[in-house]
Structures are given as C-alpha cells and as structure tokens.
C-alpha cells in the first residue's frame, strides 16, 4: 500500500522511527480503521477525530507532541496548534476541501528544514464523494447554498492541481498569485522527478504536442472555451469553428489521431502550468498567457508530464446520484458594490505598506469575498488565495469592509421608501 510505503520511506521502521507522520483520512470510520491497522503493523499510532471525547483528543495531541506517538491518523480536526518539528510525512488518504487546506496541512511536515514527504492519494470516486457531502449539508440546511457552491469550486481547483503535469511547487505558487517566485521546476516533486528519470519521455515529442495544443488555444483566444480547442485539434465538426473560419486553418485536425479525452487532459495540464487561462464570467473563454505564447513559439521549454494514454476504467459505469455543480453567478449590483469597496480598501493598504495590491489580495480573492460575505476569519479563508497568514495580516480590515457594507445594506432596507403608497405623510 502507498501509505505503508510512504511511512517506511519517511520513518524507516516502526521499531526505530526517524520522525513522525500525520495521516489525514476523509471519514471517522476510515480514521479508526487505519489507526488500528497501523498499530497491528507495529507503529505507535492513534486515531483522532471530532467524535472522540475531549479527554481522548487531548491525550492523543499531548502524546504526539511529546513523542509518545509516531503516527496520528486524523480527520482535518487535527493539527491546529501542533508544532512538532520532526514530522517527516503528511499523507492524505483522500483530497481535502481546497488547495488552501492541502497547503496548510502538508506544511506541517519538514518544519526543521529536513527532507519530508507529502503524499496525496486520489481516486475516481473523490468527486462524487465530495459532492455528496456538500449536498448533504445543503439538504440539512447546515450551510448557505452560495457558500456550498463556492466550496465545490474550491475543491475542483484542488483536483485540477492534482491532475498536474507540471511542477507541483510552481503550480501552487501560481495558484496563490506568486508567479514571480516560480522556479521552472523544483526538482523534488513527483512530476519533476518523473520528467528527470523516465527514459521513455521524449522532450521533443512532448514539446511538439504542447506547442500544437497551445496553437489551438491561440486560435480560439478569448472567443471560445477549451472544448472548441479540443475540436479544433481533432478536426471535429463544430459550428463554432465553421462560422469563425477556423476549419480552414492549419491547426484544424493537427492532432486528429489523439483521443479527445486525452487532449482535454493535456489542455487542463496546460492550464495548471500557467500557459492557458480563462476570461469572462459564467462561460469562461480560454486565453493564451504570455508564458504560454513563449512556449508555443519555442522561446521557453515545455516542461510538462503528458497524461497516460491508457486510462484505467472504473469497474462500474453507474453514475453517482449527484447534481451537476451550478455555475458561479455573475456578481449582482450589491456584490459589485462590495467588490469595489474591497478594492478601495486594498489600494489604501497597499499604499500604506508600500506593496503591490495583489500582495494584499488578488481580484479573484476579492470577488470570492464579495460573493460569500464572510462573517469571521474561518469563513474568510474560504476565499481563493486567502490563507492563515493573509487572514492574520489583513483579515480584520477585509472583514471590517464586509461588515460595513452589510450594515449599510440593512440600513437601506429599513429606510422608508418615498414611493411606497403605504408611507404615511409627515
């Protein structure tokens, strides 16, 4: 099993472990089962989840911090306040809720600056499982539908990152808007090591496919989505391509022999690599970024791990009972007003601290804040690119803008309407 292999690689052996590990499980049942299995394998392990009594949770936290336990299998309830420096591995048995959550949890490994392992296990049922959990919250009335829709989109961002194909380190930096800090390959993640060691990877062949794929994006730049780029590469009949004249271009059918699903995955990996982006609202339009144009022209290396062509199929083709995720609505007038207020606040903060505005928060983060209207710091972390560090530094100001905006809205609602015929005369 991959978990067992990761523990052996990181900690050497249960008898004389060289550090500690945290294993995140998706459910309480899995947490207890995996903890029991590891104990049987000789590890000093214990489970931790919110369903345990407070005294048990406190005992597990204390024993892990003191070194009495080497492995804790937990739900995401574990980790806050735990600062053990010799954590050599953080393993996720299933994807957490967002890139932000994964970044925070995997960051608990290697705090002593020694090498550590971060392993995220992904399976075909993860999307359906996460969707079912969110819908269960919606049906019970435990969460606002807008917040649930936002959480679903955050989970999809994580799955796109997991799809990968480009350096994990650089992809996370781009996600948080830190493009200038990218390394063009960290040399340590699974993608970088695979690109370095796989003798079957032909850099010239990869470059040719990537440049052809990006040429299709350049053709449909700002006009259509990625499905049109896939049709263009396949030479597939498509009304959009016909009336726009793209069927007469050299790109039409340039990768006709490649499977459609495989080409879609290649294009998604180009998105993760930062070569393709989206503009527009409810119907995102694909655009070629400046780095993508450089790769297409051959001015920049196409460091990408292509997806496997022979994809394993699930044993059952029965679809889970889950509704499709609704598209994120365009902001209404109130949402736009809050977004503008947040931008003004960001400009004031950036000028006072003499930093670029995106350091405080990106436009995408501000749009998310305007959509979910967080009431506290925990809800604020649901916004794209807003992690614990930014919440600590800028959270009070951002929440203050939201509160002020909501107070103004409430005052407007309470004010008498001059055109209301029921309004009495003075």
Q: Kindly report, residue by residue over 296-313, the tens digit of the pLDDT.
A: 999 988 888 888 876 443
Higher-scoring residue by pLDDT: 416, 260: 260
pLDDT at 385: 72
CATH 3.40.50.300 boundaries in the chain: 2-121
Range among 149-158, 213-222, 322-331, 403-412 rated most confident:
213-222
327-353 confidence digits (pLDDT tens): 333 345 667 788 889 989 988 888 888
CATH 1.10.150.80 boundaries in the chain: 333-414
pLDDT at 142: 62
Mean pLDDT of 272-300: 84
CATH 1.10.10.10 boundaries in the chain: 201-297
pTM over 0.75: no
Range among 146-160, 260-274, 379-393 rated most confident:
260-274
Mean pLDDT of 144-149: 77
Does domain 333-414 bear CATH number 1.10.10.410? Answer: no
The torsion of the CA quartet 283, 287, 291, 297, rounded to 10 degrees, works out to 150
Does domain 2-121 bear CATH number 3.40.640.10? Answer: no
Query: Which CATH architecture fits 201-297?
Result: Orthogonal Bundle (1.10)
Mean pLDDT of 33-62: 94
pLDDT at 283: 64
Q: Does position 235 have pLDDT exceeding 60, yes or no?
A: yes
pLDDT at 58: 92
């Amino acid at each position: 099993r991959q978990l067992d292999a990761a523990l052996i690689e990181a900690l050497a052996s249960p008898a004389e472990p060289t550090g500690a590990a945290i294993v995140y499980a998706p459910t309480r049942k899995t947490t207890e089962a995996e903890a029991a299995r590891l104990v049987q394998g000789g590890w000093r392990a214990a489970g931790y989840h919110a369903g345990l009594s407070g005294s048990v949770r406190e005992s597990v936290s204390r024993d892990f911090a003191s070194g009495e336990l080497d492995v804790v299998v937990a739900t995401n309830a574990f980790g806050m306040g735990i600062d053990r420096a010799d954590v050599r591995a953080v393993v996720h048995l299933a994807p957490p809720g967002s890139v932000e959550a994964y970044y925070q949890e995997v960051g608990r490994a290697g705090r002593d600056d020694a090498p550590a392992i971060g392993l995220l296990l992904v399976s075909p049922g993860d999307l359906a499982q996460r969707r079912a959990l969110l819908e269960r919250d919606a049906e019970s009335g435990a969460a606002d539908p807008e917040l649930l829709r936002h959480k679903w989109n955050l989970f999809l961002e994580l799955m796109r990152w997991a799809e990968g194909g480009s350096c994990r380190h650089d992809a996370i930096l781009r996600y948080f808007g830190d493009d200038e800090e990218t390394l063009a390959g960290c040399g340590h993640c699974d993608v970088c090591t695979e690109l370095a060691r796989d003798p079957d990877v032909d850099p010239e062949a990869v470059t040719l496919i990537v440049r052809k794929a990006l040429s299709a994006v350049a053709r449909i730049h700002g006009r259509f989505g990625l499905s049109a780029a896939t049709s263009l590469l396949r030479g597939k009949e498509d009304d959009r391509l016909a009336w726009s004249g793209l069927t007469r271009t050299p790109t039409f059918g340039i990768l006709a022999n490649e499977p459609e699903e495989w080409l879609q995955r290649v294009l998604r990996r180009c998105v993760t690599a930062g070569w393709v982006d989206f503009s527009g609202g409810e119907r995102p339009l694909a655009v070629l970024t400046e780095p993508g144009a450089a790769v297409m022209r051959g001015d920049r290396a196409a460091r990408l791990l292509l997806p496997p062509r022979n994809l394993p199929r699930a044993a059952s083709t029965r679809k889970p009972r889950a509704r499709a995720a609704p598209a994120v609505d365009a902001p209404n007038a109130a949402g736009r007003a809050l977004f503008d207020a947040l931008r003004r606040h960001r400009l004031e903060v950036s000028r006072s601290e003499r930093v670029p505005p995106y350091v405080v928060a990106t436009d995408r983060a501000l749009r998310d804040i305007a959509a979910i209207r967080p009431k506290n710091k925990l809800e604020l972390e649901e916004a794209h690119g807003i992690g614990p560090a930014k919440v600590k530094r800028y959270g009070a100001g951002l929440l203050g803008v939201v509160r002020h905006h909501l107070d103004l809205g409430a005052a407007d609602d309470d004010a008498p309407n001059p055109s209301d015929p029921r309004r009495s005369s003075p």
